[in-house]
């Protein structure tokens, strides 16, 4: 392994760790907010921890906005960051030297043939990496002129981030629109899948980010239930 190859792998692993951290924060915020929404009526009715949970929701909403925006932040050479576009730029810049250690999930994700997956050499890895970079280029991006729903959702989210979360601009907050929950969840799901594929394909270990976030949600549900709060309906698992 030459020095350039080793450095390219080290930097990509660092980008992956940053992505995993933001995906985890987004997933945790998402799952906790979903559970708090389900328990909202019971919390308001009994008044148990009402003010605490109201403030917790606000904190989680801010973290959700910040982490999702960071995941899709465009690559900038003077401050590369640890976003999906940065990972794509890095792979593209080092496509001739990065080895793919886990081919199966990446190949399935890209819809590759068995013939391509069976080949295991730098030329085959380069071909897979180029296809992966092309796919990443089509992921959602903040663009006010785009008609794609997820581009529009990310544009709204970035505006909220820039004007009301990362900064407190003197604007009418009623003019800010937050994308629907389904779009937010989709943005998180895409980022989680890409991050897990990056880790599986280009480094030694993988991540189980959704499972980790679900454990936090189960802990919250257990806490609420021990406080005598419940959600109407059939018992459920989270």
pLDDT, tens digit, 9 for 90 and up, residues 30-78: 999 999 999 999 999 998 889 999 999 999 999 999 999 999 999 998 9
Answer with the residue of higher pLDDT: 174 or 14.
14
Cβ 65 vs Cβ 181: under 8 Å: no
In a domain, 238, yes or no: no
Q: What angle do CA 8, 99, 195 make, to 5 degrees?
A: 75
pLDDT of residue 109: 85
> Residues of the chain with pLDDT > 70: what percent?
90
Is the pLDDT reported for residue 238 higher than 80? no
Is pTM beyond 0.75 here? yes
Is the pLDDT reported for residue 205 higher than 80? no
- pLDDT tens digits, residue range 144-162? 999 999 999 999 999 999 9
pLDDT of residue 169: 79
Answer with the residue of higher pLDDT: 106 or 23.
23
Mean pLDDT of 100-120: 74
Over the chain, what is the mean pLDDT?
A: 88
Confidence of residue 234 (pLDDT cuts 50, 70, 90): very low
In a domain, 234, yes or no: no
Mean pLDDT of 209-227: 92
In a domain, 53, yes or no: yes
In a domain, 237, yes or no: no
Q: Residue 178's domain spans which residues?
A: 3-94+102-226
In a domain, 152, yes or no: yes
Confidence of residue 232 (pLDDT cuts 50, 70, 90): confident
In a domain, 209, yes or no: yes
In a domain, 233, yes or no: no
Q: Counting Cβ atoms within 10 Å, is residue 75 exposed (0-12), middle (13-18) or buried (19+)? A: middle
Confidence of residue 3 (pLDDT cuts 50, 70, 90): low
Confidence of residue 235 (pLDDT cuts 50, 70, 90): low
Is the pLDDT reported for residue 226 higher than 60? yes
User: Long-range contacts for 35-38 (Cβ within 8 Å, ≥24 apart)?
Assistant: 35/217, 35/220, 35/221, 35/224, 35/238, 36/60, 36/220, 38/231
Q: Domain total for the chain?
A: 1
- pLDDT tens digits, residue range 117-152? 566 666 788 888 999 999 999 999 999 999 999 999
Of 128, 121, 130, 84, nearest to 107 by C-alpha is 128
């Amino acid at each position: 392994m030459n020095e350039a190859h080793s450095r390219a792998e080290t930097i990509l692993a660092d980008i992956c760790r940053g992505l995993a951290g933001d995906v985890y924060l987004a997933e945790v915020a998402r799952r906790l907010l979903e559970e708090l929404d389900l328990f909202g009526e019971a919390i308001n009715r009994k008044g148990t921890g009402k003010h605490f949970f109201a403030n917790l929701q606000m904190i989680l909403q801010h973290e959700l906005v910040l982490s999702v925006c960071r995941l899709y932040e465009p690559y900038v050479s003077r401050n590369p960051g640890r976003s999906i576009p940065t990972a794509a730029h890095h792979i593209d810049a080092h496509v001739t030297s990065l080895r793919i250690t886990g081919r199966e999930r990446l190949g399935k994700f890209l819809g590759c043939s068995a013939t391509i997956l069976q080949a295991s050499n730098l030329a085959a890895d380069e071909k897979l990496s180029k296809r992966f970079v092309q796919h990443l280029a089509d992921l959602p991006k903040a663009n006010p002129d785009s008609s794609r729903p997820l581009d529009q959702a990310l544009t709204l989210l970035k505006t909220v981030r820039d004007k009301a979360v990362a900064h407190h601009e003197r604007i009418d907050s009623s003019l800010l629109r937050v994308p629907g929950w389904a779009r937010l969840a989709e943005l998180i799901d895409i980022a989680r899948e890409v991050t897990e594929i990056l880790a599986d394909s280009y480094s030694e270990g993988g991540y189980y980010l959704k499972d980790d976030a679900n454990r936090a949600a189960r802990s919250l549900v257990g806490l609420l239930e021990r406080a005598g709060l419940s959600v109407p309906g059939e018992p459920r698992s989270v």
